[in-house]
A and B are shown apart, each in its own frame.
Chain A
Amino acid sequence: MSSPVLQLSNIVKEFSGVRVLHEITLDVLPGEVLGILGENGAGKSTLLKIISGIYTKTSGTVSVNGKVVNLKTPVDAKKLGIAMIPQEFNLISSLNVFENIFLGSEIKSGLFLNKKTMREQTHELLKELKTDLDPNALIEDLTVAQKQMVEIAKALVSNANILIMDEPTTVLTEHEVRILFELVERLKARGVTILFISHKLKEVKQLCDRLAILRDGHLISLDEVTGLNEKDMARKMVGRELNQIYPEKSAPQEETVLKVSNLSIDGVLKNINFELKKGEVLGFSGLVGAGRTETAEAIMGLRHKDSGALEVNGKRVEVNSPVEAVNLRLAYLSEDRQGKGLILNFDIPKNITLISLKAYVKGLINKSLERKKVKEFVSLFDIKAASLDTKLINLSGGNQQKVYLSKWMDTYPEILILDEPTRGIDVNTKKDIYHFIRQLIDDGLSVIFISSELEEIIGLSNRVIVMRSGEIMGELTGEDINEEEIMYHAAGLTRQTA
């Protein structure tokens, strides 16, 4: 067997005295794809950030190709051929795609930037990633999936031989995930070593050679993937058996709580019509750019509508701002938790009560009431943080998502629009969220569930609407809610045959 490219021994990391990694010792072999699994807050990102020079370890050693190295900054790591695709975007939104990709490694001719070459190379890279992104497009105009592709391209441009991917697929749809996996296979064939974090066990099974499992900052096991099934992985990760991921579906009532008619936005949405029943989980499926997020944002008054009427509980309503939407007990959990959901330099209570603050104000904010309520959410969703005063930026990705969900639940919504709510959430918590949604349904809420994960759409929805390019392509119920039917509509095959 070849000698390891990367050796970690006794890696310890503490944040202001709190130990989040306990003496991790791990060898990574050249050309392998090593999966790293663990619950939210287990320490996966922290470990990989140490390898890529973003965090400095408290103690322990890292060796690359047998030599002990001192990683102080991402530049050190880059020099050693280590590149990272971070969990949260690290792009400059006022710059365009190629400028971001070459940020810090600009190609110059003489004193000047060689924009032409950079643009061409970006074009090549994006072609390899099979996206039709324009190298000149501004980052702020891109969807999250497109931003993710830019992050991937950015990591590739440095020709790294150790590539770290922290949940690269969470924001991608199946199609893009397939492209990414083909790319990983190609890189692997070139001898590149890949460290891969994901909460999607199926992907891990499919892509990885070996699997390291972390629990509460300890390395629990290191196994060959062959011979493990998804259930085994989940069990090792959580420490116990996981049963019944999806709750039983319940039957929705007759009553319509939300009716959307003729909703159109020029160039974005075309004549959207649908109804949501009380107690229903209405799934929205489709590929990237299908217009699901735009539909949700239009309903919430976050986007200008060119036409369209809304009825809530049978009454015609005008919603031109999120303030009006919240007053109607509508809630929208955005797919972009960092860009649209959370204030990262605020602590946990201030984030959770940002929308519902009125409920805590009697002239002044009643901070003890606020904290009491927040503690309930922290235990309900098992939010892991050093303390309530922890700023959101210092929470793990999955725990941020739980804070975001709490923030909307505190508005006591009646109609809840969830846009990729389980993004970056571990299997165990995912299960908790599914059961929580079922609980909400039992409490009389109605849910619009937007997701790119077919499995959860199928597992949860009473009815599924499939969108494509801003149009509704079909509506599925009962037995028709299956992968084949959904993909068929999402690919637009209905129109061609008609």
Chain B
Amino acid sequence: MSKIDWSKYAPLIALIVLVAISAMASEHFLAARNISNVLRQVSYTGIIALGMTFVIIAGGIDLSVGSMLALVGVLTVMILNAVGEGWFAVVLAIGAAIALGALFGLINGAIVTKGRVAAFIATLATMSIFRSLTLYISDAGEIVSTNQKYPDVGGGYFLSVPNPVWVFLSLAIIFHILLNHTAFGRHVCAIGSNATVSAYSAIKVKTIYLITFVITGATVGISAVMLSSRLNSVSPGDAGLFYELDVIAAVVIGGTSLAGGKGTIWGTVIGVIILGIINNMLNLLGVSAYLQGTVKGLVILVAVLAQYKQTR
């Protein structure tokens, strides 16, 4: 008697339609190399979008992720260079990147929960702070890694699939389980749906909310490693610029409600890929780079409008 709820699958259907159109529009689209490229390009924002899904479901938002990525990236490469050659330095730097990301996330979370500042405002402030610290520390100059092994991390392949894609997809599976099959995930949905009811249900609302920011920070750390190792350098002014927009857009396109309370990881993965394909198609079709933002904006609007219709 229960009917299939099609609206739940809207992002997946959109993806399938998009792939079909793209395949018809350009013969290059379905080439293995192109697909692998698209996936690698989206994995940097995609990894962060996984963490952001938790923050948004919990009822928050994190605008600082792009700047945070630059700051973590610069610090990580500096640490790497300070430690020296070899895999040991690389492993240490990766650990440091994740820890730094989590720490910056903790700072965001603490301002929001302890300081009772709205997430939008708090992370708008830290977005500015992180970027400015990045420029200061690096003296606005590119920081280049001297470690010979480091480029293999983000630039390497495993079974002909780029490493960042593996990281993105594995994290997606872990985060899916975290969201749907653990008490923590259940509590994140609860506090985003109704914080008062959650508090009355003996849920540590602030702690849970804080942790979502820490998780997002950690994903920023991972993304920073992937990006800086592939490029073998970090450019303090450009790294992660406007990432917050792509990340939030992907989460929303994936069906997660900006009002909090509901969302899925697989939706976010699809949202990330949809954005990537759109970018890729516009490139393949030779559309002006200046117009790509317009297309992206329209896609976000359609996704949000579709959600709005559902809740009516």
Contacts and interface: CB of A to CB of B under 8 A. Distances in A.
Contact of A340 (B181, B186, B189, B200): B200
Interface in B232-277: 261-262
A234 interface: no
Contacts of B190: 343, 346, 354
Given A339-B196, A339-B197, A343-B197, A358 B202 contact: no
A387 interface: yes
B1 A340 contact: no
B3 A17 contact: yes
A334 B182 contact: no
B177 interface: yes
Interface in A278-337: 302, 321-323, 325-326, 332, 334
B193 A343 contact: yes
Contacts of B310: none
B1 A18 contact: yes
B57 to A, nearest CB: 12
Interface size class of A (residues with CB under 8 A): 20 to 34
B203 interface: yes
Given A345-B193, A346-B189, A365 B200 contact: no
A344 B182 CA distance: 20
B182 A354 contact: no
Interface in A76-119: none
A44 interface: no
A355 B201 contact: yes
Contacts of B189: 346
Contacts of A361: 182-183
B83 interface: no
Contact of B201 (A16, A354, A363): A354
Given A17-B1, A326-B202, A345 B262 contact: yes
Contacts of A354: 186, 190, 198, 201, 203
A186 to B, nearest CB: 37
Contact of B197 (A323, A341, A357): A341
B196 A357 contact: no
A334 B200 contact: yes
Interface in A370-414: 386-387, 389, 407
B194 A365 contact: no
Interface in B173-207: 177, 181-183, 186-187, 189-190, 193-194, 196-204
A364 interface: yes
A16 B1 contact: yes
A322 B1 contact: no
B243 to A, nearest CB: 30
B2 interface: yes
A361 B2 CA distance: 29
A342 interface: yes
Contacts of B2: 16, 386-387, 389
A57 interface: no
A322 B199 contact: yes
B201 A365 contact: no
A350 interface: yes
Contacts of A358: 183
A345 B261 contact: yes
A354 B198 CA distance: 8
A358 B262 CA distance: 21
B51 to A, nearest CB: 20
Contacts of B197: 339-343
A355 B193 contact: no
Closest 3 CB pairs of A and B: A322-B202, A364-B181, A326-B202
Interface of B: 1-3, 177, 181-183, 186-187, 189-190, 193-194, 196-204, 261-262
Given A326-B202, A346-B190, A355-B202, 10 more contacts: A16-B1, A16-B3, A321-B204, A322-B201, A322-B202, A343-B194, A343-B197, A354-B198, A357-B187, A358-B183
Interface of A: 16-18, 302, 321-323, 325-326, 332, 334, 339-346, 350, 354-355, 357-358, 361, 363-365, 367, 386-387, 389, 407
9 contacts: A18-B1, A343-B190, A343-B194, A350-B186, A354-B201, A357-B187, A365-B181, A365-B186, A389-B2
